[in-house]
Amino acid sequence: MSTFLLVHGAFRGGWSWRRVRPYLVAAGHDVYAPSLTGAGERAAGAVAGLETWVDELVALVEAEDLDDLVLVGHSQGGVVVRALEARIPARVRHVVYLDGAVPDPGERAVDLTPAAGVTLPPRETSIPARAPVAGGDLDEATAAWMAARLTPTPFAPSLDALDVPDEHAGPVSYVFCSGTPDGYPSGTTRARLDARGTAYEVIEAGHDAPLTAPRVVADVLMRAAARPA
């Protein structure tokens, strides 16, 4: 049995994992999929920066006395997981980045989507969500369901540089989605892995694979959890 801590991406909340969770639970695993402050049912909360999210996840891990964790970060959740693993390395067995944005040490999330001549908004800005458009593996019903739940995402965490070691403390898996549009931060991460010769897996799904391909995602996560440390 493994304990999974699933971290959602921008504009989403813990609800984005609701179709993955049943597969993991049915296989006997424990699953935690919290909404970060400023997201989901916690949209009204204030977020000073990346440490706000990391601190609250550390508090959850310590309160529940979680150990031997499989950390999973989807999209912007990759930034959070990278910082979290550095804070609690002894409690982490494996890290999985699912179409994740993974800055290098000292980088910010915004550095993964560089745009020449673009002025960044103020730190206190909340970026409004855009309603998803059905297409690919995202059907009309799921797109509408998501649109009713998306929330603005605080910009401050994307401006904070990662203060983490050069290397992860343990095993890492990178998984990308074949249908993710160009320009997403995960594309920068993937290109860097190609340049470095780092292996990764590609699944046939769009960026919101936890909702559109939950069985595939669950299988990927369970395979990662089963790998020896």
SS3 95: strand
How much is the pLDDT for 205? 98
Domains and CATH numbers, the chain: 3-113+120-226 (3.40.50.1820)
User: What's the chain's length in residues?
Assistant: 229
- The active-site residue, picked from 2, 16, 35, 75, is 75
Structure-token pair, residue 127: 């970026």
CB atoms within 10 A of CB 88: 18
Residue 116 has what pLDDT? 61
Strand extents, DSSP E, 82-190: 92-98, 126-127, 153-154, 172-177
Backbone angles phi, psi at 98, to 5 degrees: -105, 105
* Of 115, 120, 118, 158, residue with least CA distance to 10: 158
| Residues of the chain under the 70 pLDDT cut | 116-117, 229
Q: What is the CA radius of gyration of the chain?
A: 16
Rounded-to-integer distance, Cα 39 and Cα 35, Å: 6
Assess contact for 95 and 71: CB atoms under 8 A.
yes
Tell me the pLDDT tens digit for each residue of 85-94: 999 999 999 9
Active site residue 75: yes
